[in-house]
Homo-oligomer: A and B are copies of this chain.
Amino acid sequence: MQALILAGGSGTRFWPLSRRQRPKQLLALAGEHSLLETTVARLAPIIEPTSVWVSTTEVLAPAVRAALPEVPTAQVLVEPVGRNTAPAIGYAVRSMPARVREDVIAVLPADHPIADEETFRRVLVTAEDAARDGDRILTLGVTPHRAETGYGYLELGPPLPGAAGLRRVARFTEKPDADTAARWVAAGNHLWNAGIFVFRGSRLLAALAVHEPEISRGLEAMAQDPSVTEAIYPTLPAVSIDCGVMERIDQLATLPLDCGWSDLGSWQALAEMLPADAAGNVLRGAVTAVDSTDTLVLAEDGHVAVLGVEGLVVVRTGDTVLVMPKTRAQDVRQVVDTVAAEGRSELL
């Protein structure tokens, strides 16, 4: 099996630690190593680094290569520009040698922690078999343990022949309301869409040819004559792999993943993941906390002191510090937009 890790993201949710040149996947948020390195290390028992491919951007490629010296340099693929995941995955797969494209490929986000790695690998190997033997496309779904309204859900369809637990995906549903989410979680007939896909490369390219012919034609043209890449790639429809392919194909298969997955979508999510002290504080770096509770303090550079605070996030870097209630962690983008509007581009 091959792995294709999508590492081109550039979000703002972990500003000020994350920056344009150092996005979330390059940060060691949940441990000693970056999320990207952890993603590769987690695969190693079933997919060697020499079978790992990474899709990233030109600006991030040097940092990605430095973080993953065991991945062959030529397998760190650069998206000419960001055009969403259908072009990115298609371009990466089409760039692989023909014999690799015939192999099963697991597409994985670079920035999602997983607590139970053994379960994760076991399910991935089961998915590999289903993709190889049945020539299926699978989108793995995370078993939900709370009524999250911020995720997309997969509605489970009838069982499919082959591996135990293999089900057809009946429907994709984006971000349900809280009541709906609670009902789904209780009923056990939905999974979270975690952006993990398993398929033969050739099968995915065939599906693109059917459902996104414009992307498919572009990929073929660039494969025949790489010199047209700069001209063609930016014109490809900027469609996600979910909308462009997964939601359209018959017999999309899924397997449930119950492996302590998190998309680690905010400072609050990080605070919930890391071990807290008796007062509910998560303190990282040089921090002095007096009479404070339920607070995340991260001092990447320099020292931070908090006195008498509750439910805050405080993140200090060499050049800035962010202070907000945990309840506003979803709104960090507002700060980043304001910082940009103020012309402080050195902080972005």
Residue A279 at the B interface, CB < 8 A? no
**What B residues does A327 contact at CB under 8 A?**
308
- Write the nearest CB–CB distance from A88 to chain B, whole angstroms: 31
- Whether B288 and A307, one on each chain, are in contact in the complex, defined by CB atoms closer than 8 angstroms, is no
Residue A291 at the B interface, CB < 8 A? yes
* A308 contact from B290, B319, B328, B339, Cβ within 8 A: B328
User: Closest residue of chain B to A323, judged by CB?
Assistant: B306
The stretch that binds B, out of A1-9, A207-215, A329-337, is: A329-337
- Write the nearest CB–CB distance from A331 to chain B, whole angstroms: 6
Q: How far is it, in angstroms, between the C-alpha of A319 and the C-alpha of B302 when the chains are bound?
A: 5
- Whether B339 and A321, one on each chain, are in contact in the complex, defined by CB atoms closer than 8 angstroms, is no
Residue A322 at the B interface, CB < 8 A? yes
Interface residues in A283-324 (C-beta closer than 8 Å to B): 286, 288, 290-291, 302-309, 312, 314, 316, 318-324
- Whether A305 and B342, one on each chain, are in contact in the complex, defined by CB atoms closer than 8 angstroms, is no
- Write the nearest CB–CB distance from A315 to chain B, whole angstroms: 9
Total contacting residues, chain A, CB less than 8 A: 35
- Whether B307 and A312, one on each chain, are in contact in the complex, defined by CB atoms closer than 8 angstroms, is no
**What B residues does A344 contact at CB under 8 A?**
286, 288, 303
- Whether A321 and B302, one on each chain, are in contact in the complex, defined by CB atoms closer than 8 angstroms, is yes
- Whether A318 and B302, one on each chain, are in contact in the complex, defined by CB atoms closer than 8 angstroms, is yes
* A334 contact from B307, B314, B328, Cβ within 8 A: B307
Q: How far is it, in angstroms, between the C-alpha of A339 and the C-alpha of B342 when the chains are bound?
A: 34
User: Closest residue of chain B to A317, judged by CB?
Assistant: B302
**What B residues does A321 contact at CB under 8 A?**
302-305, 314, 316, 321
Interface residues in A137-190 (C-beta closer than 8 Å to B): none
Contacts known (A334-B290, A334-B291); A323 close to B320, Cβ less than 8 A: no
User: Closest residue of chain B to A319, judged by CB?
Assistant: B302
* A307 contact from B286, B291, B324, Cβ within 8 A: B324
Contacts known (A291-B334, A334-B290); A304 close to B323, Cβ less than 8 A: yes
**What B residues does A328 contact at CB under 8 A?**
291, 307-308
User: Closest residue of chain B to A328, judged by CB?
Assistant: B308
Q: How far is it, in angstroms, between the C-alpha of A286 and the C-alpha of B327 when the chains are bound?
A: 24
- Whether A307 and B320, one on each chain, are in contact in the complex, defined by CB atoms closer than 8 angstroms, is no
Residue A325 at the B interface, CB < 8 A? yes
- Whether B323 and A305, one on each chain, are in contact in the complex, defined by CB atoms closer than 8 angstroms, is yes
User: What are 27 A-B contacts with C-beta separation under 8 Å?
Assistant: A16-B305, A288-B335, A288-B339, A291-B334, A302-B318, A302-B319, A302-B320, A303-B319, A303-B320, A303-B344, A305-B320, A305-B321, A305-B322, A305-B323, A305-B335, A306-B323, A306-B324, A307-B322, A307-B328, A308-B325, A308-B331, A309-B312, A309-B325, A314-B321, A316-B321, A321-B321, A323-B323
Extra contacts, 4 of them, besides A303-B344, A306-B323 (Cβ < 8 A), are A291-B328, A305-B339, A307-B322, A307-B328
